[in-house]
Every structure is written in structure tokens, then in C-alpha cells.
Amino acid sequence: MSSAPAGPTVPVLEIEALTVRYGRAVACDGISLSVAPGAVYALLGRNGAGKSSLVRCLLGEQRPSAGGTRLFGRDSWKARALSMERVGVVPEEPDAPPAMTARELEDFCRRLYPKWDSASVARRLARFGVPETVPFGRLSKGQKGQVLLALALASSPELLVLDDPTLGLDVVARRAFWEELLGDLADRGTTVFITTHDLASIEGIATHVGILTAGRLALDEDVETLKSRFRRIRYGNRVTETRTEFGTELDAFDSVRVKVRGWGVEAVVSNWAEDSFERFRRQDGVEGAESSAMTLEEIFLAVAGEPPRTAAAEGAVR
């Protein structure tokens, strides 16, 4: 991939036809996406969908099998040192020398970045009761996460990368983490790239979402557009007993999931529109049709919640 100088029109990060293979297994299969300045992009996917491989390539920690990634217009692999000065990272597993205290970690990191806010680190750790003089290895997972978030934000990064940062945390620790992040985002307008399983929390933060299924990008768009076109439709039908799962009355919609039940039909559709739904309700045999909005979690489950029922799925990366 060619390098280009960063500028106001250059996306903060770009992923172009990214492919990652481990032997015969394919973790990422031709993924392309970009994230504009100020966006909060949530990348969602089941375990084994390829999220961590993508993040490692994005941060220049792993060379892709094909395609590539750019940070601020520069190749992530070739220009990692230059790019990472502008990036804060909170990894999936809290990773720091276990014998070093938060104070020692802060002192070490401060020397690496031209812009550093030591006072913000102290304030965050005090606010969440994280001791500065206890070795990192003796802190709880939630405390470790707060230390790494404080360090990641202290450099005033233009891009914050969070790789499933609340995995394994209890409810209180998760809430504290997201509240802290929300407060910082409101103050700075930092671009954020998040992989997470915590869909309920991310729904109020993300501006854009991507969904990976079996290493491929199944969906990539802004959250409001996504939620406006997905709906759950329920209706009775006088010929339910004889119809297949994809009845002809649903032809006006792109059906993602359809279930025929004893009382009628329940469907998740991905191109809902008010006028189309009104015409649908007037079709012969459709009775008591109603539609309801869906949460981001419900949309994710509809798109990626069930493994594909194909022979190829048997060999998918886990």
C-alpha cells in the first residue's frame, strides 16, 4: 500500500482488502473499511471472527497475508513508530510488567510521548481508588484496565484503540470503564476504534458499526442508518401451516431471519420502510402485522448470532 501524508481529508485509519491466514485457516478475508476523524467505530463479531487479528495488523504488530492497513495515511507495518506516537491502546488482556507500580508505569510512558498529562493519570487513578504504589500484577483486572486506560489517554492520542477492554470485568467495573471513556470522549473528540462484546454499553457511544462473520465484513455503516432499516415484524397468517420459512409476502423486505410459529410469523428485515410496511399490512392473508425497533445487540444476533449452516462453516476459524 502506498504511503501518504496525513491531512484533513485522510481517514484516521484505513483497512484495505486485509487478509490474514494461519496455515489453511483464514482469520480475515478481504476486509476493507475506513474510519473518519472523530468517529467512534465499534467492530463486532463472535469469538474467532477475526477481530484480534485485524487489530494486530492495524497496530503494526502483525504483517497481513495480503492487503494492508494505514494509520493517518501511513502504512501501519512500515511506519509503526511514527504512527503509534499518535495512538493510545488498551488491549484485551491487561499487559504490563507485573512488578512495576502504576506510578512507575506512568513515569516510564511519560518519557516516550511528546505530549503527556501526568496530572490526568493521577486524577483517574484516585477517582477509581487504584493504588499507585501496588505492583501491577497484584491489581484486580478492573484496576489494571483503569491503569491502562489512564495511560492510553495521557498522551492525548488522536486515535484510541480498545480491543475488548471490558472482557471479564464485573458489572460495576464495566460501568466505571465506560463512564470514564464517555467523559473523555465528550471533552476531546478523539477518534475511537473498539472491538467489544459489551453491546449494551457501546450502543450509546458508537457512531459507526461493523460486523464480522467468519472473517468477512458482513455490515459496515453508521449506527443511526443501521437501526432505521432493521426491524422485527410479527404477523398472523391464515396459511401459516403450509408456508415455508421465506413466504412470498416478505418479498418486499430483505429478510435476515424468519421463523414460522404456531401463532404466525416473526421476521427480522434489513430494509424496512414505512411505506413498504403499510403495503405489506394490506396484503391478503397478513393479519395483525406490527413492527418494532431493534437494539444493536438484537441486530448483531440476527446478523451473526447463529453459525452459518453450510459445509464451509465446518472449517471456519474458531
Using the predicted structure, report yes or no on whether residue 1 has a pLDDT greater than 60: no
First to last CA, the chain: 29
Averaged pLDDT for residues 90-106: 91
Averaged pLDDT for residues 241-245: 50
Distance of CA 56 to the CA centre of its chain: 14
**Calpha distance 293→299 (Å, rounded):** 10
Residue 295's pLDDT is what?
94
Using the predicted structure, report yes or no on whether residue 248 has a pLDDT greater than 90: no
Sorting pLDDT into bands at 50, 70 and 90, what band is 2?
very low
**Calpha distance 3→73 (Å, rounded):** 6
Percent of the chain with pLDDT over 70: 89
Residue 254's pLDDT is what?
84
Q: At what angle do helices 141-154 and 102-110 cross, to 10 degrees?
A: 20
According to CATH, what is the number of the domain 13-222? 3.40.50.300
Sorting pLDDT into bands at 50, 70 and 90, what band is 307?
very low
pTM of the model: 0.85
Using the predicted structure, report yes or no on whether residue 312 has a pLDDT greater than 60: no
Domain ranges of the chain: 13-222, 231-293
Superfamily for domain range 231-293: ACT domain (3.30.70.260)
Using the predicted structure, report yes or no on whether residue 317 has a pLDDT greater than 70: no
Report, in this order, helix, strand and coil percent for the chain, each rounded to 5: 35, 30, 40
- 223-226: long-range contacts, CB 8 A cutoff, minimum separation 24: 223/296, 226/296, 226/299
Phi, psi for 308 (deg, rounded to 5):
-65, 140
Averaged pLDDT for residues 79-83: 89
DSSP state for residue 249 in the 8-state scheme: G
Predicted confidence (pLDDT) per residue in 30-51, tens digit:
999 999 999 999 999 988 889 9
**Cβ atoms of residues 270 and 254 within 8 Å:** yes
Between the CA of residue 138 and those of 104, 123, 134, 144, what are the distances in Å? 14, 21, 7, 9
Between the CA of residue 226 and those of 114, 293, 305, what are the distances in Å? 39, 11, 17
Q: What DSSP element (H or E) covers 219? A: strand 216-222
Averaged pLDDT for residues 60-72: 95
